[in-house]
A and B are shown apart, each in its own frame.
Chain A
């Protein structure tokens, strides 16, 4: 399995609090992605990174920010969590845009 770890795996937080999810890889892959998965919506891209300090917005980026200060870590921050951000969050990595992506096991986030 590709070396990709998401933490935490589960989290319950209160509305209005900041939350940071971490994606850590040991593969030295250039590209990293954050998705959320909700019933009826499939996987929706939140943010992605194409190199250290190089990030861009995906389809559903409002309310989220990211940082990538080193190759192995891609952090997703919910600046002020809302109930609509209750979801399962997946991180993915790939070595190139024309190669397969590898997924983490997901983080289940509940905002109460």
Chain B
């Protein structure tokens, strides 16, 4: 499989807590991207981190990339019920954009 693999598969937390999701991949990358999907809808891009970057921030999101370990993590700080969704990492291989299986995040009030 060319997919990145996220873990955990499912995560349940309370509002205000932080949520951390991880993504591993097998081959070299130019960049790694994170997307969010609300139930039954198309994916929405969250953040892109290039292979020469180690950390990137966007609002309450923080993404790290460790190319030596072929892994990335997405941290959502001070989570809200509206953050409930599935989160996917995606990597480019040639011209193909491949996704993992995703992490399902549930944030309860």
Q: Which one, A45, A58, A100, A102, contacts B48 given CB within 8 A?
A: A100
CA distance A43 to B91 in the complex (A): 12
CA distance A84 to B31 in the complex (A): 32
Q: Are A50 and B95 in contact (CB under 8 A)?
A: yes
Name the CB-closest residue of A to B45: A100
Chain B min CB distance to A18 (Å)? 25
State which size class the interface on B falls in: 20 to 34
Q: Which one, B43, B45, B92, contacts A97 given CB within 8 A?
A: B92
Query: Inside 8 A of A90's CB, which chain B residues have their CB?
Result: 42-43
Query: Inside 8 A of A98's CB, which chain B residues have their CB?
Result: 30-31, 48, 50, 92
Query: Inside 8 A of A59's CB, which chain B residues have their CB?
Result: 1-3, 98
Q: Are B30 and A101 in contact (CB under 8 A)?
A: no
